[in-house]
A and B are shown apart, each in its own frame.
Chain A
């Protein structure tokens, strides 16, 4: 029991350390939020005028997709920061201390929830300013944000493994772009999947990014009966399907990342 309490305490110390960095280098957060703001504005005004959707305003349709894409991209911070710590020898220092083996990763992924909350808040405000509306209840909206955060948290643990494996923040950034761009575009994030070529449509419909987006979209009330979800199980049960992915990713990548941390070598 004392070990569990200690692990929690150690994790808190590292979380605090990571949050202090946000305070010390606010530029990081500014740029992390500027790009989603830019995305909201570009898509809303450029594509919004060209993509007519039946029964729902494109700006409303769009927001859930942008939220999902942004938090998934945000999780690369986890990998990049760990790679930086590794490169600077900090992970070596931590590994020589009598602290919990999980603490560095727990502290990192916790802090990145903080990052994501701030980012989502800024985006939500921007969205509301350009005409996005939540048409359900506050509770539904909170559930949507909660699901987005959980999904981002799971992806963070995946990125942790990437960060500890490559030992260079730049490589994490580049490698994750290659994976995250297709993952977030071959999905229902920006347009409905109905007219995708069959192979891409199948991928998109089973893509967890789609189910998280759809779940959030439904929870925000940004859907329309004229725009029914595809007739596949994940689209019919987006919340459950998303949760299965979240749990699955955590079950696999938490132990893998901690194992990697235990044997990782700095410089």
Chain B
């Protein structure tokens, strides 16, 4: 039995369809990263799973307990950190945590002890006796996360847990999440940071407009987007045509030229050998290279390509690169890419 099982979840808010049939499962002791652009429905999934919101149809179970039929059983197994920090500003950090602990029905001394431990763990020991109103945004965020951990939940929902944290706190949070998983906690986290999903998540589900458009491990998703790309930057934009001509035989799809950035990006097949080959082809071409590299797609590419939001980002390398690698994505999928994808791009790939 999976820790979290969701089937056919549908939720409408008047005219808006927030969820249009979402299925997902999180095996016990693993981390699922729920990715999606703004308004995709991530928070709605989390709210339904944490019993705050009723779905219009579909089921959601936590360790076999239905969130609607047995809400209290579910609540005692879960911890929730919502998208916005929910701490009581008029209580101290210590009092906030003790209160939540008591409401999970820990004994007074357990609650106190857990509170102290967690405040230390989250670098808040010095501020433990200050009211939360005086906390900075990042401190509130950490206090909020500590509150969701007070009763050692078996399943933890984190809705954009590191939004608003500085890089040091973010890395600290990642380490902490890692240690929770090592202790057996199951985690479903939503995030806008692909690096975060890449680093933490065992499985990734990408949703957009309330539908799952791709799922798999981070590696599977990356290979679905396509293979490597050679990226060149030249010192003079006038060199771009000749550069393009010389490396054309290596391209497996249309190269992308960005005059403004004086760069060329070429989808290729193969690894480092292709790079050596490309450089050899440029011998005696007179092209002056400022930068050259072989890049594997990262989750940013996956995200942009799958959600089709590339064209909405600012013009430049990312935009044109994303649009063109849409073709590479189909290639990847028709190559028999492992991920089970149900989005339009994957379908396009499957049709070919």
Contact = CB atoms under 8 A, between A and B. Distances in A.
Interface of A: 6, 9-10, 13, 16-17, 20-21, 24-25, 88-90, 92-99, 103, 263, 265-267
Contacts of A88: 86, 89
Nearest 6 CB-CB pairings of A with B = A89-B86, A98-B76, A98-B75, A93-B86, A21-B90, A96-B80
B75 to A, nearest CB: 4
B100 interface: yes
A88 B102 CA distance: 21
A82 to B, nearest CB: 13
A89 B75 CA distance: 17
The A interface is mostly helix, strand or loop, or mixed, namely helix
Contacts of A93: 80, 82, 86, 100, 147
19 contacts: A13-B99, A13-B103, A16-B99, A21-B90, A24-B91, A24-B131, A89-B82, A89-B86, A90-B87, A92-B80, A93-B82, A93-B100, A95-B51, A95-B52, A96-B51, A97-B100, A98-B76, A98-B103, A99-B104
Nearest to B98: A13
B105 interface: yes
Contacts of B84: 89, 267
A25 B131 CA distance: 11
A25 B90 contact: yes
Interface of B: 47, 50-54, 72, 75-76, 78, 80, 82, 84-91, 95, 99-100, 102-105, 131, 147
A249 to B, nearest CB: 28
B72 A20 contact: no
B88 A96 contact: no
Contacts of A10: 103
A92 B147 CA distance: 13
A97 B86 CA distance: 13
B99 A17 contact: yes
A213 to B, nearest CB: 34
A102 B54 CA distance: 19
